[in-house]
Amino acid sequence: MLCVMLSASDTIIRLGGLARGSRLQELGFTRRALSRAVHRGEIERIRDGVFACGHLEPEVRAATAHGGALSCASVLQLLGVWVLAPVQVPHVWLGGDRHAHPHDGCRCVSHYYRGTPPLGRSALEIALVHFRRCAGDEAFFAAFESALRRGLLAGTARTRIRSMIPATSRWLVDLARSDSDSGLESLLRLRLHVLGVRLDCQVSIVGVGRVDFVIGGRLILEADGKENHDGATLRHKDRIRDASASALGYETLRFDYAQIVHDWPAVQESIIGALFRLRARA
């Protein structure tokens, strides 16, 4: 019978690419053996007591060197979740009783939130909870709906996340849907909900197609992200849809990223004005 002994590098890879020295010692690797493996270039020492081997995302590497786990917007971006204000530097969860470790090229943002950070990166649920504290309720809501839409949250995740955020913010989890096509739609719906405006979401209109929102059966709202509306051809298709909707008695308002994110008062005024016009005609 052939007996194959795992090397330190094999073991670390099987542990996910990162491992604490204490865990490796439990598996039979001495400090001296680990030092030799580092010297030979077989494994890498990220910081004292933590070793890596194989592919490691740069953000995770930086967070580990910083002394904690990647979390918040950084984890969301790695998973393709929509983030209102994308971050360019790692957001690191250090826990409430830890301190940051200086390392080369450090630009990390430290989060001293309660709990014990794992090795590598936090779970998505924890990253969302941290993101609400870091970026606020609106950003959290859009990211939460994005995660739902991408199928990244299990059925019980909504309940767990709801229990981890303050009672004053739990209604955001209750309001969230899984069919929002973009973060812009999420922001638009949330802001109008706060104003007491009821919207029908993802409505299919014969002769027009599916639209983002309809208010009062006659006002169409479209949130135009770059991915689906940029370029002359796509804008031409939008105009054709708007003309078809007008022929059926609808009024269409379109808003892009810059308007929704940076000029919301003008967007709100435009929507309220259109609603007054429609009510006056009724």
Position 98 scores a pLDDT of 81
Position 229 scores a pLDDT of 45
- The answer to whether 219 and 251 have CB atoms below 8 angstroms apart is yes
What the chain holds in terms of domains, given with CATH numbers, is 7-56 (no CATH), 68-178 (no CATH), 181-282 (3.40.960.10)
Q: How far are the Cα atoms of 15, 141, 157, 187 from residue 173, in angstroms, in the given order?
A: 34, 7, 10, 14
Terminal Cα-to-Cα distance of the chain (whole angstroms) = 86
Position 96 scores a pLDDT of 79
Radius of gyration of the chain (CA): 25
Each of the 282 residues of the chain gets a pLDDT tens digit; together they read 444 568 999 999 999 999 999 999 999 999 999 999 999 999 999 999 999 999 999 999 999 999 999 999 999 999 999 999 999 999 999 987 888 998 888 999 999 999 999 999 999 999 999 999 999 999 999 999 999 999 999 889 999 999 999 999 999 999 999 988 899 999 999 999 999 999 998 999 998 999 999 998 899 999 987 655 454 567 788 888 899 998 998 899 999 999 999 999 999 999 999 999 888 876
